[in-house]
Structure 1
């Protein structure tokens, strides 16, 4: 490649504490009509007849996170010439901010080596429930059936998964020597009843940076990368086909002609407040965002200006990662009525979704002194900022604005489950069923504004070939998309690594499809 800067590994876990992983807002399946910022609204598509081209390639990739890197490699391997435009000064996108998991299943070679039984059918059974009924079933089927092949492709392109499996619990940061772990809600009672639990969070050695570095190293000198070059608009011909892009580079405007296709991999619109406000305003109450500064929706907006349809733009994930805090998943999560509402060992996006759908006026994890000490001893304790304490459960409830009698009844019922080892209400794992009885007692607020981060899931509507679909339900010639600027398999968020896996799956497909057009 002509330019290559290594992406240093960073983490989803920021000063917000538990706000760095995925989330699960429920909303209407259809996309709202996003209205961009003034900067984004200034974009407008240009006719090819009005463009003085400065560069040309058969395939132009816009954005070099996991989806864009996969698209570029796949296109090169089909023999196409490729120019990649990246607005930042290095590759990686939001993938570089992540924990570096790739959510793959169905019997991958890594699962097989570690003795984990899984099939594409079992994988799809879990994901169908996890992402919910609004997901695109065609894309979900492709994602599940192609997952073992995706794993092999990742390995063929330099990623290594030589470690062991950890089947004990959710893992916040991958321990040394672990390559496979649970990273979703697979073991929760409602999910385990329809799909045999299997760990599917694949952790490549070297983390998130290795995903990008491995792909770009595979691309080699054949990939022409233009860093600091941001998309301005798409260029169309008289038939409406996309034939190139205009962009702003470090030395001024550029216009790149695409002989076969343009692939958009520009990321989410998490940092575009105007679109988020229009599509799902509750998300803006979250304490943080899981996003890079360039996640503004520019690719989605540019595509809409040439007639692209969007899907599920009101779907956003809100991560309430109770399990990150040691003692917290042993407590009881109560809603504003003082009633328990879920199993506290659920994956964070499922907790965030449930909180957002059921209570916004008060939501607390009730713990005792022993659990509090455990939580405060974890490295993310600084993220717990809204905590109330009292010497009795009743006094704690009153200080927290909860009904004292109902709260005491809920804790008494929970403690009885702990003594019997069976959570009759929500099926919480026995390892977390610890009675709340050693005062003083604490109420930790897990409302979005105190505890959570969000990112957007919806975006451009694509088909199984990663072609962008227009408002009439037909593919736009020459235009493809992958990653979080498209909707992909979501629905709701399924677990850590599912967004990266979605980007790799359909980025790879986009590159292959565009290059062979």
Structure 2
């Protein structure tokens, strides 16, 4: 369990004794030139003044005598996640030889929300999206510090990529539906773009962070089966170590494996699909130090997202995206659900308009004393949340429900079961008075009582003159028992990556594309900046699927516009 706990200073996080959800325990392979912190899971080391980042150190070529085997292939994919498997299958469908290497002993996957627009499923359900407006909002969210052409390409081709995945899923007895739990508000509104796969007959609930046969846990294993059936050669426990280029700058291969037993893959087409770097503290300190303040970091397989592909690409002459800081997906995954109730800090004081998304709450919380925050509500909480979500007043992650299928409404019974589990592990505390609740929270009783009384006044007024929350989301706190849920900011993905052109090729510091070196998924840059935009839930996985398929087609020499037709955006 402890492997997924705090990625930074634990001392100020002792109130989170409930802990984060755990994953499996596969760790990163060693990358030449990367310093490994001694004695633990954390990769990298803190920087000092005048420090040179580890990936900037000279890297010696691996001597030929250390290479025990050579493999000739047409396309080599690095990473067996959603993006890598999409790329490998897409390339293999065109008849070329494809090898896929993965440092873990099984595929990597997490979550399951996948953004796409104009898919066959959306058309069937009568769901329409204004892609042009969504693109404008994404560019606005990033303050224009992204590659708009790359974003437009995604929206033009995401529907066709989703249809391809849907057809594949049917071969492996998977269904797909739309998520209806997205946030709905007059100013902040998430878009109905989120698809998720599930096994036929799966119980579409997310009880205490657990689900079976839903999301990428269903889709990615099915994709692995499809890759094997198509003839992709998959090499597990084979970490990429060095990306090779010739004197003309062309990509010529990859050295992979473990020291003393390296395999050299000879190829002119390499697709980097190695994920993000949220388990690499040195990279986080370099590209987004704010994210280090989060309470927890969750990934699966555990701690394997160490930025290997990005580091190796930089060592081979590639560059990271131009804009910093990088965006980070920081949600309330490791703690209690926040809903839209009164939020207070460690002093018992209200500190925000709670009518916002999980990303905003996670980040705002970090600016409070000791980074501590709670959500406060009374015995009517479940009916209040269901009423708000079902009336399309609110929702989103950790307010609505993770796998709420289209047209089914908020499942109150499952939410009550989840809260009971949170009470059992200390993420939610219960009391018969506000003073008793304050004592269990460790906050000043007088301050909490005053803030609850003030919040009740605002409810009676039906006007939040303090923070401006919509009156429809104001609820009284007056019926015991009273509840306080601990909010825990959780880094899921770092969303900055390699400089990427519109053909998904890695670029160097002069913004010149490197022939034959593609990048997809979270290792790809230029798509996000500053903050992760939550208006399209699942857009990170969406670009894994869409750009993975694009890169596989292009690397195999296929016609991407014919095989992945665009919509007008």
Question: What range is the shorter-chain TM-score in?
Answer: 0.7 to 0.9
Does residue 1:499 correspond to 2:534, yes or no? no
Does residue 1:212 correspond to 2:220, yes or no? yes
Aligned counterpart, 1:9? none
Post-superposition shift, 1:472?
A: 0.8
Aligned counterpart, 2:275? 267
Separation in structure 2 between the aligned mates of residue 180 and residue 429 of structure 1, nearest angstrom? 29
1:191-270 equivalences under 5 Å are: 191-192=188-189, 198-206=191-199, 207=214, 208-219=216-227, 220-248=229-257, 252-258=261-267, 260-270=268-278
Post-superposition shift, 1:231?
A: 0.7
Does residue 1:137 correspond to 2:145, yes or no? no
Residues 258-303 of structure 1 show CA distances to partners (whole Å, capped at 9, x for unaligned) of 1x31111111112222222333344334332122332111111111
Q: Secondary structure at the match of 1:310?
A: coil
Post-superposition shift, 1:317?
A: 2.2
Structure 2 spans left out of the alignment, 5+ residues = 1-16, 24-32, 37-42, 44-53, 200-213, 383-415, 559-569
Does residue 1:349 correspond to 2:359, yes or no? yes
Count of equivalent residues: 459
Do the aligned partners of residues 422 and 156 (structure 1) sit closer, same or farther apart at CA in structure 2, a change above 3 Å counting?
farther
Q: Secondary structure at the match of 1:158?
A: helix
Q: Secondary structure at the match of 2:257?
A: strand
Separation in structure 2 between the aligned mates of residue 444 and residue 241 of structure 1, nearest angstrom? 54
Separation in structure 2 between the aligned mates of residue 401 and residue 481 of structure 1, nearest angstrom? 48
Separation in structure 1 between the aligned mates of residue 181 and residue 533 of structure 2, nearest angstrom? 9
Q: Secondary structure at the match of 2:555?
A: helix
Worse-superposed segment, 347-356 or 315-324: 315-324
Does the 8 Å contact 2:162/2:546 carry over to 1?
no
Aligned counterpart, 2:379? 370
Does residue 1:304 correspond to 2:314, yes or no? yes
Aligned counterpart, 2:102? 86
Separation in structure 2 between the aligned mates of residue 242 and residue 48 of structure 1, nearest angstrom? 18
Separation in structure 1 between the aligned mates of residue 193 and residue 424 of structure 2, nearest angstrom? 30
Do the aligned partners of residues 215 and 146 (structure 1) sit closer, same or farther apart at CA in structure 2, a change above 3 Å counting?
same
Does the 8 Å contact 2:92/2:232 carry over to 1?
yes
Q: TM-score, normalised by structure 1?
A: 0.75
Does the 8 Å contact 2:88/2:98 carry over to 1?
yes
1:56-455 equivalences under 5 Å are: 56-91=72-107, 93=108, 95=109, 97-98=110-111, 100-105=112-117, 107-128=118-139, 133-159=144-170, 179-182=177-180, 185=183, 187-192=184-189, 198-206=191-199, 207=214, 208-219=216-227, 220-248=229-257, 252-258=261-267, 260-291=268-299, 292=301, 293-311=303-321, 312=324, 314-320=326-332, 325=337, 328-335=338-345, 338-344=349-355, 346-356=356-366, 358-370=367-379, 377-382=419-424, 384-385=426-427, 391-392=433-434, 396=438, 410-412=451-453, 414-419=455-460, 425-428=467-470, 430=472, 432-439=473-480, 441=482, 443-446=484-487, 448=489, 452-455=490-493
Residues 99-125 of structure 1 show CA distances to partners (whole Å, capped at 9, x for unaligned) of x221223x3222222232323224334
Does the 8 Å contact 1:161/1:204 carry over to 2?
no
Worse-superposed segment, 435-444 or 390-399: 390-399
Residues 365-397 of structure 1 show CA distances to partners (whole Å, capped at 9, x for unaligned) of 342442689597344445644859684479949
Separation in structure 2 between the aligned mates of residue 330 and residue 161 of structure 1, nearest angstrom? 39
Do the aligned partners of residues 368 and 184 (structure 1) sit closer, same or farther apart at CA in structure 2, a change above 3 Å counting?
closer
Separation in structure 1 between the aligned mates of residue 445 and residue 378 of structure 2, nearest angstrom? 21
Post-superposition shift, 1:512?
A: 2.1
Do the aligned partners of residues 368 and 74 (structure 1) sit closer, same or farther apart at CA in structure 2, a change above 3 Å counting?
closer
Does residue 1:37 correspond to 2:32, yes or no? no
Q: Secondary structure at the match of 1:60?
A: strand
Post-superposition shift, 1:85?
A: 0.8
Worse-superposed segment, 199-208 or 271-280: 271-280
Do the aligned partners of residues 416 and 214 (structure 1) sit closer, same or farther apart at CA in structure 2, a change above 3 Å counting?
same
Separation in structure 2 between the aligned mates of residue 112 and residue 421 of structure 1, nearest angstrom? 40
Residues 166-197 of structure 1 show CA distances to partners (whole Å, capped at 9, x for unaligned) of xxxxxxxxxxx982114654x133223xxxx5
Separation in structure 2 between the aligned mates of residue 336 and residue 363 of structure 1, nearest angstrom? 6
Structure 1 spans left out of the alignment, 5+ residues = 1-14, 22-34, 164-176
Does the 8 Å contact 1:244/1:257 carry over to 2?
yes
Residues 73-107 of structure 1 show CA distances to partners (whole Å, capped at 9, x for unaligned) of 2222344321111111122x1x2x32x221223x3
Separation in structure 1 between the aligned mates of residue 436 and residue 371 of structure 2, nearest angstrom? 16
Cα RMSD for the two superposed structures: 4.1
Does the 8 Å contact 1:246/1:255 carry over to 2?
yes
Post-superposition shift, 1:501?
A: 0.9
Q: Secondary structure at the match of 1:124?
A: helix
Does the 8 Å contact 1:264/1:485 carry over to 2?
yes
Separation in structure 1 between the aligned mates of residue 331 and residue 130 of structure 2, nearest angstrom? 28
Q: TM-score, normalised by structure 2?
A: 0.69
Aligned counterpart, 2:518? 480
Separation in structure 2 between the aligned mates of residue 343 and residue 253 of structure 1, nearest angstrom? 53
Do the aligned partners of residues 257 and 307 (structure 1) sit closer, same or farther apart at CA in structure 2, a change above 3 Å counting?
same
Post-superposition shift, 1:215?
A: 3.0
